[in-house]
Amino acid sequence: MKIAVCVKQVVTRDWPVRVDDAGRWVRDRDAGFEMNEPDAYALEEALRLKEQHGGEVIVCSAGPPRVSQVLREALARGADRAIHVESDTLATADALTVGKALADALRPEAPDLVLTGLQSDDQGFGQTGVVLAELLGISHSTIIMEVEVSGEAQIRVKRELEGGWFQWVVMPLPSLLTIQSGINQLRYATLSGIMAAKKKEVRTVEPEAPARESHQKIVELYVPEKRKKTRFIEGSSTEVAQELVRVLREDARVF
């Protein structure tokens, strides 16, 4: 089975966020970067499927030269080879632009299964995987919590629904799955894996089509203002309790 995993490089979660001068993205010149957490779970699931059923795991990422860092990390964890769609504009591009760049790079590989994280830790739109499946012309399923290979040409997956419900779906191959965080236990790269990653192939390609004008733009990005407000509720104990419940439900919306 040939499995492709799409990973994204995002700003480290504990980095103090600073908005750039344009007010449309974070100032990442001096930031640290890491692999998007949901994508890390997608990679781990691909490696487990490979261990169980054999095959090959290919990692693919789109972005500037610094993206090679997460590709090497994926190779050190056990992926076989990597594809880097190199372009500075893809770092903050919309899902359709990124999806097209990834689709052009993966189409010649003809993978049996494509895995992505459910969403990214930065923009968090959860659209790239679905768009990629449409561009590749394959079936897809989202919010996956378990994957079983049930035959040579099909898989059985467990989807997380609302309200604690789950759904089992049988899908034909090739397919694309967006993986939910927590589906498995992440592994760390070993010293031998890090040394082996230096010899593995990282193929760099350019986007086949120039980046078009995005249909989706971030108009403004800002840090929420911290405010304090104290309110006294007066009346009998019954009146205070009723008003407190109303305030928590309708104003604070905590339940």
Rounded Cα distance between 31 and 82, Å, is 24
Residue 210 — pLDDT band, cuts 50, 70, 90?
low
Confidence of residue 247 (pLDDT cuts 50, 70, 90): confident
Residue 163: predicted pLDDT: 86
Smallest Cα–Cα separation from 150: which of 114, 113, 178, 185?
Answer: 113
Name the token pair of 20. 């750039």
pLDDT at residue number 212: 64
pLDDT greater than 90 at residue 219: no
Average pLDDT score, the chain = 90
Question: Which domains does the chain show, CATH number per domain?
Answer: 2-205 (3.40.50.620)
pLDDT, residue 51, reads: 95
Give the model's pLDDT for residue 123.
86
User: Using CA atoms, how far apart are residues 148 and 144, in angstroms rounded to an integer?
Assistant: 11
The residue that leads in pLDDT, 215 or 19, is 19
Instruction: Pick left, alpha or beta for residue 110 (phi over 0 → left; psi -120 to 50 → alpha; otherwise beta).
Output: left
Q: Alpha-carbon distance 253 to 114, whole Å?
A: 38
| pLDDT recorded at residue 213 | 65
Residue 177: predicted pLDDT: 97
Q: What is the pLDDT of residue 149?
A: 92
Confidence (pTM): 0.84
Helix (H) / strand (E) element for 105: namely: helix 95-106
- 40-73: buried (b, 16+ CB within 10 Å) or exposed (e) per residue? bbbbbbbbbbbeeeebbbbbbbbbeeebbebbbb
List the one residue out of 41, 39, 69, 44 whose CA is nearest residue 57. 44
Residue 144 has pLDDT above 90, yes or no: yes
Average pLDDT over residues 128-135: 96
Cα–Cα dist 228/69, whole Å: 42
**65-121 pLDDT, tens per residue?**
999 999 999 999 999 999 999 998 888 888 999 999 999 999 999 999 999 999 999
Which has more pLDDT, 224 or 245?
Answer: 245
- Is the per-residue pLDDT at 211 higher than 70? no
